[in-house]
Copies of this chain bind each other. A is one copy, B any other.
Amino acid sequence: MKIILASKSPRRKELLDLLKLEYEIKVSNAEEVIEENLTIEEQAKKLAYIKAKTVFDETEGERAIIGADTMVIKDGKIYGKPKDEADALKILKELNGQKHKVITGIAILIQKENEYQEYIDYDITEVTLKNMSEEEMKNWIKTGQAMDKAGAYAIQGEFSVFIEKINGNYTTVVGLPIHKVYEIIKGLN
């Protein structure tokens, strides 16, 4: 069974590598449109589904396509990737010293002979950030690592000194709930 990760995120690749299986990466051009009338859980699942479905429609044969979408939420507000460095600082100031939630939607679309299966789910982890000084936030942004990440931070790497604690799955915060992906993928031949 051919496995395709529909994401260009190096963090998701690193997590999927843990399963020790062969897979390809094929990124869709699906636009990430946030719909206002859906719950956050529905949005995360829908965005993951769109990413996987676009790649599914562009491929053939027996295959499993893995899509994922990660969002940071605090007080009902959704934080995506920062627009620029000033936006990254604004986001970090809003998240600073407090709890927020990280939700990752996953969609695995499987074509097996004539049987089609969809597995669509999400996982939520609560993250508590330490109190950072403005200098610490600016130094982090200067590393260039804030810009391609929802919420302008990464739980792994240099930023990890500012993570007080989490409640939930760690890989969900990184961007792919690998404990859930593993359960689906291990059943494929």
Contacts and interface: CB of A to CB of B under 8 A. Distances in A.
Contacts of A161: 18-19, 178-179, 182
**Max chain B Cβ within 10 angstroms of own Cβ: one of A19, A20, A162, A169:** A169
Contacts of A178: 160-161
Contacts of A130: 179
A160 B171 contact: yes
Given A160-B178, A160-B179, A165 B168 contact: yes
Contacts of A169: 163-166
Interface in A63-102: none
A120 interface: no
Nearest to A181: B161
A24 interface: no
Q: Is the interface of A mostly helix, strand, loop or mixed?
A: mixed
A117 interface: no
A95 to B, nearest CB: 15
Interface in A145-189: 155, 157-158, 160-171, 178-179, 182
Nearest to A163: B179
Given A165-B167, A169-B165, A18 B160 contact: yes
Nearest to A161: B182
11 contacts: A20-B158, A125-B165, A130-B179, A155-B170, A161-B182, A162-B179, A163-B170, A163-B171, A165-B167, A166-B166, A166-B168
